[in-house]
Each structure stands twice: as C-alpha cells, then as structure tokens.
C-alpha cells in the first residue's frame, strides 16, 4: 500500500475517529514536562511535538470537513424513514394484518411460500419498503421476508391501530390471515381468497 492510499483511507475515516485522533494529539502535545518525563515521553516530545500538533490540527480539520457529509447522510436517512413510516397510515387491511401477525408472533422474519396469498401481500409491503425479501437463491417454500428494525419498532407501538375498530371483523380477518400464514410458513398454502 502506497503512502497516498494511506492518506486517502485516513481522509475517509468517520468524524468521530478523526476527532478522537485530534484530541489524543492535542493531549500529547500539550502534556506538561513533569508528566511527559514521568511517562518517559520527554525525548519523543522534544523532537516531535510540532509534528504531533500539526497532525492533531489536520485531523481536527478533516473531522470538520467529514462532519458535513455525515450529518447530511443522517438527515437524508431520517427523512426517508419518516416517509416510509408515513405509509403505515395508508396500508390495506391485508397488509396491516400481515404486520399484526408478525407482532403477535414476535417475529421480524417470516418464511413465506412464494406466490401464496401472504407472499403477495408481503410483495406490496416490500414495494413500500416496509418489509424486505431476502436476496439471492432461497427455498421457494420458505422465502425469508424481514421487517427493518425501525419499522418493527413503530408497528409494535401501533399494534392496536392495525386491528379493525369492529372486533368481529378484526377477529375474522385475523383468524383467516393467521390460518393462511401458518399454512404458508409450513408449505401448505392453498391460496384461499381474502374474506
């Protein structure tokens, strides 16, 4: 690895590491002579105190430069997640019940038979970014679908909102969905229509 690649890797460090390096450099450069003598650093500091200070100032400046893209990325991610969570208010009854099923079973990951009724509902949730099907080659009788952590936290809080106001209707849908999902996860889904 050339010295230039080392410099590029140092510049790409996250701000917290750069600020940590700067703080360590400032502490070492500003050590009182009595303490540096006690630590056995007197010789090193007498020769390289200026270089250590320069490196600390450079790390601090790079940390400030890297701070802006980090804040922008954090803000962009936060905004994107807020948009995705806002979609929870406009879900169909089937989508709400699929998420309610996950919460009631305390499982963030479902194994669904591809092209089954629950898998089709999960595909709609996937388009909204609320559930993520596994990538790559999987078993079509047990395809993993995972709810992202930030979505999971929100639906656990709002679990009651996912059930219909009429208890009889909610119970009928819940029994139907849970029966189909239990069948789907065991590979016995017949693709019954929604009630």
- The DSSP H or E segment spanning 111 is strand 109-112
pLDDT band at 187 (very low <50, low <70, confident <90, very high): very low
**Secondary structure letter of residue 135 according to DSSP:** P
Q: What would the pLDDT profile of 11-60 be if each residue is shown by its tens digit?
A: 677 777 888 888 888 888 877 877 777 777 777 777 777 788 888 888 88
pLDDT on residue 164: 56
Q: Which of 127, 121, 128 is nearest to 101 (CA)?
A: 121
CA distance linking residue 78 with residue 81, whole number of Å: 5
pLDDT on residue 100: 80
Evaluate whether 146 touches 134 at the Cβ level (below 8 Å).
yes
For 79, residues 6+ apart whose C-beta sits below 8 A from its C-beta are none
pLDDT band at 141 (very low <50, low <70, confident <90, very high): confident
CA distance linking residue 10 with residue 17, whole number of Å: 9
130 pLDDT higher than 80: yes
pLDDT on residue 193: 46
Higher pLDDT, 178 or 115: 115
């Amino acid at each position: 690895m050339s010295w230039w690649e080392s410099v590029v890797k140092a510049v790409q460090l996250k701000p917290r590491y750069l600020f940590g390096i700067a703080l360590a450099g400032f502490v070492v450069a500003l050590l009182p002579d009595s303490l540096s003598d006690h630590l056995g650093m007197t010789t090193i500091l007498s020769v390289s105190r200026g270089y250590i200070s320069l490196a600390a100032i450079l790390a601090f400046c790079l940390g400030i430069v890297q701070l802006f893209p980090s804040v922008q990325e954090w803000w962009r991610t936060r905004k994107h997640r807020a948009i995705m969570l806002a979609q929870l208010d406009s879900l169909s009854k089937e989508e709400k019940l699929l998420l309610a099923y996950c919460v009631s079973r305390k499982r963030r990951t479902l194994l669904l038979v591809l092209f089954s009724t629950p898998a089709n509902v999960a595909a709609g949730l996937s388009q909204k970014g609320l559930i993520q099907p596994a990538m790559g080659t999987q078993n079509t009788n047990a395809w993993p679908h995972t709810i992202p952590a930030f979505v999971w936290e929100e639906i656990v809080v709002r679990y009651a909102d996912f059930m219909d106001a009429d208890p009889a209707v909610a119970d009928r849908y819940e029994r139907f969905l849970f029966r189909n999902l239990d069948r789907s996860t065991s590979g016995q889904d017949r693709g019954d229509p929604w009630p």
